[in-house]
Amino acid sequence: MKYAHEFRDPVLAQGLLGQIREAVARTSATVSQPLNIMEVCGGHTHAIFRYGLHEMVPGEIEFIHGPGCPVCVLPMGRVDDCIEIAEHPQVIFTTFGDAMRVPGTKKSMLQAKAEGADIRLVYSPLDALAIARSNPDREVVFFALGFETTMPSTALTVLQAVKEGIRNFSLFCNHITVPQPIKALLDDPDMRLDGFIGPGHVSMVVGTRPYDFIARDYGKPIVVSGFEPIDLLQSVLMVVTQIAEGRAEVENQYGRIVPRDGNRQALAAIDAVFEPREKFEWRGLGEIDASGVKMRPAFAAWDAEQKFDVGYGKRREVADPLDARCGDVLKGQIKPIACPLFGSICNPETPVGALMVSSEGACAAYHQYVGARAREAQAV
């Protein structure tokens, strides 16, 4: 078995692979008509490639890499908005490192910083608040990015700013949610998905109830999974077993971290600060109803969209680069290697599409772990 030595328990991994093979045999899947199982979370995509799980599972199982990498689905127009805000002379713009190299229409934040914009990398929104505290004559903006996992941290930071009366701090809110794009993909007539590996740390916050519609309304299984390779193999087994037995349920493989009802304090903070947007644009997927949040009107004084007049939709929609197939990769319709830009014009050093930027992006993972081998195969 490839990479087996890296498993904490290779015997357990072998056993699970055997059980997966048996379960697959009880379905109608074939190598040419495989079970399409989407791992929603970018962290899972990274782990699958790092441990070579996609090559270990039987050929009747195909991993479809989902849209669960927040940097990857960030539309170019929003990067442009960041740069517009950051180039105000009184602004200190703060961001997680992942977002720095995402291309906007003209430049990335990294390029804007090189040209003189005061853009600073922070590990936590709390660090951005500390910068605001010690720079009362500057406007400090935090680029709030990420799924439900990150929302409690930015919400709690805003609540702390309010408590301390810090008025020179604001969020540029670009948070997005997991269930809505899953629904959009299930509604897409071009997609054929047989089951889902659900995100672990998003579910730690929201619990498993938000996925009930997947089983109830669409008849598809979903298993919330941990990040260890053994976790992922167990989750694949649980999904395939459901399919083999004709069941569609929400199951929780990561119960040691994920409570059914999520984290009460985290959900309360999210609900206090944020409300759903009518719709939000996803790179490659277009606009999806209720798939993002904005700050509630009570927090307008801490909302960078209000402070800098860059509300969602004010900028005309910006198309992705002409030849890039980011959208098709994001939906799992093509593998990264099938994109004409992959590995040549678009690579981790000079990314054209955002999927090449983050280690959680399917293209970056492909490039790092399987790209060279795939390119060789294609050349033959």
Which residues of this protein are in contact with other proteins, per CB under 8 A?
6, 8, 41-43, 46-47, 50-51, 68-71, 94, 96-98, 120-131, 134, 145-147, 149-150, 152-153, 156, 160, 163, 199, 201-202, 204-205, 227-229, 256-257, 263-266, 269, 358-360
CA distance readout (Å), 368 to 153, 279, 311, 360, 361? 30, 34, 36, 11, 11
d(CA 258, CA 260): 6
Q: How far is the CB of 258 from other proteins (least distance, A)?
A: 8
CB of 1 to other proteins, least distance (A): 16
Burial state string for 172-190 with b = 16 or more CB within 10 A and e = fewer than 16: bbbbbbbbbbbbbbbeeee
Measured distance CA(131)–CA(47) in Å, rounded = 34
**Is 130 or 318 the residue whose CB approaches other proteins more closely?**
130
Nearer residue to other proteins within complex by CB, 6 or 271: 6
Tokens in use for 58?
A: 């039987």
Indicate the residue among 21 and 133 with the shorter CB distance to other proteins: 133
Of the pair 97, 311, the CB lying nearest other proteins is at 97
What separation in angstroms does the CA of 369 have from each of 32, 37, 52, 96, 101? 24, 20, 8, 24, 21
Q: Indicate the pairing of strand 274-276 with strand 293-295.
A: antiparallel
Q: In the complex, what is the shortest distance from the CB of residue 279 to other proteins, in angstroms, rounded to a whole number? A: 23
Query: Do residues 211 and 248 make contact, with C-beta atoms less than 8 angstroms apart?
Result: no
DSSP β-ladder status, 286-289 and 279-282: antiparallel
Cα dist. 213→67, 86, 216, 292 in Å? 18, 40, 5, 18
Give 77 or 229: the residue with its C-beta nearer to other proteins.
Answer: 229
Q: Which is nearer to other proteins, 83 or 92 (CB)?
A: 92
Task: Give whichever of 21 and 50 is closer to other proteins, judged by the CB atom.
Answer: 50
Least distance in Å: CB of 263 to other proteins? 5
CA pair distance 320, 309, nearest whole angstrom: 24
Instruction: Say how far apart CA 341 and CA 59 lie, in whole Å.
Output: 27
The distance of closest approach from Cβ of residue 172 to other proteins in the complex, given in angstroms and rounded to an integer, is 16
Cβ proximity to other proteins, 130 vs 334, nearer residue? 130
The number of helix segments (H) and strand segments (E) in the chain equals 16, 13
How far apart, in whole angstroms, are the C-alpha atoms of residue 126 and residue 309? 24
Smallest separation, CB 45 to other proteins (Å):
10
Indicate the residue among 257 and 338 with the shorter CB distance to other proteins. 257
CB of 150 to other proteins, least distance (A): 6
Q: Which helix (H) or strand (E) holds 289?
A: strand 286-289
- Residues counted in the chain: 380
Residue corresponding to tokens 């439900």:
148
Minimum Å gap between C-beta 69 and other proteins is: 8
Least distance CB 152 / other proteins (angstroms): 6
